[in-house]
Amino acid sequence: MTIDDIKERAKGKAATLLSGALGVVAVMAATPSTADPRAVVELFTSQGCSSCPPADKVLGELAKDPSVIALSLPVDYWDYLGWKDTLADSRFSARQKAYSSVRGDRDVYTPQAVVNGSVHVLGSDRAGIENAADSTHTGGVMSVPVTMSKSGKQIDVGVSAANGKSGEVWICAISKQVPITINRGENRGHQITYHNVVRSVLKVGDWNGKAASWSVPLENIAHDGVDAAAVYVQDGSRDKPGPMLGAAFTTLN
């Protein structure tokens, strides 16, 4: 074999390697950067609950997963323990109790994660939440495509058609990260960062199974500290919430 033969063979190998590398790049470029949401995880938490910080951390981890819409809903029923939760909303306490009523149990506690509006899990149990997300993603749950985008001074929401289904469409104003220093109560002396904190909720409309769209004025949700929004379509009603049918999340900044 001559020197020229060796050079030609080396060129051939380099071309093959380059072709393979370009093929990998092409495949990677064709892969979607985000996944359709498979789960909505609602964490009922409280600044006055000593068991909640690990769950708040888990929710922060779930918030990084594009296939999960993770929401923190601080409740107010532990305020009497010595520290008034600065993020709590009585509507979140009512929502947690409504879930319990629909399930037919008395399981209202913190930290409690409700997955896809169907199953409740200890909020600090990451594996349990993941399993619940997989097990509830059947029978039409989280099967309705939902879109949401910011356009000028409004948020445009779209829900695709799905025969035989109906529900309510709600939008949540969200603060993606809220650090809180707790000075009294069971968590006194701790600084805890809460993730995807729901600051307000607004009913967008009723969905009857046909393709529909709505426009929500940005001023209706974009208050101080709000830098994201989530929209969900849920079977049932506010007082009798059922399974989640679809959802979307977007940042506002």
- 166 in helix, strand or coil? coil
228 Cβ partners below 8 Å, 6+ apart?
Answer: 174, 175, 176, 196, 249, 250, 251, 252
pLDDT of 166 reads 97
3 pLDDT higher than 80: no
Rounded mean pLDDT, 58-85: 96
Tokens of 208: 């009857």
**End-to-end CA distance of the chain, in Å?**
64
22 pLDDT higher than 50: no
Map out the domains of the chain as residue ranges. Answer: 39-251
Give the separation between CA 252 and CA 226, rounded to whole angstroms.
8
Tokens of 101: 């009523």
Name the pTM for this structure: 0.85
As a residue count, the chain comes to 253
User: DSSP code of 25?
Assistant: H
Give the separation between CA 142 and CA 214, rounded to whole angstroms.
20
Name the strand (E) or helix (H) holding 93.
helix 90-103
210 Cβ partners below 8 Å, 6+ apart?
Answer: 161
pLDDT tens string 134-170: 999 998 999 999 999 999 999 999 999 999 999 999 9
pLDDT of 25 reads 31
77 pLDDT higher than 70: yes
Domain 39-251 part of CATH 2.60.40.10: yes
10 pLDDT higher than 80: no
Give the separation between CA 222 and CA 67, rounded to whole angstroms.
24
Instruction: Residue 139: count other Cβ atoms within 10 Å of its Cβ.
Output: 8
Residue 14: which pLDDT band, with cuts at 50, 70 and 90? very low
Name the percent of the chain lying above pLDDT 90.
Answer: 83
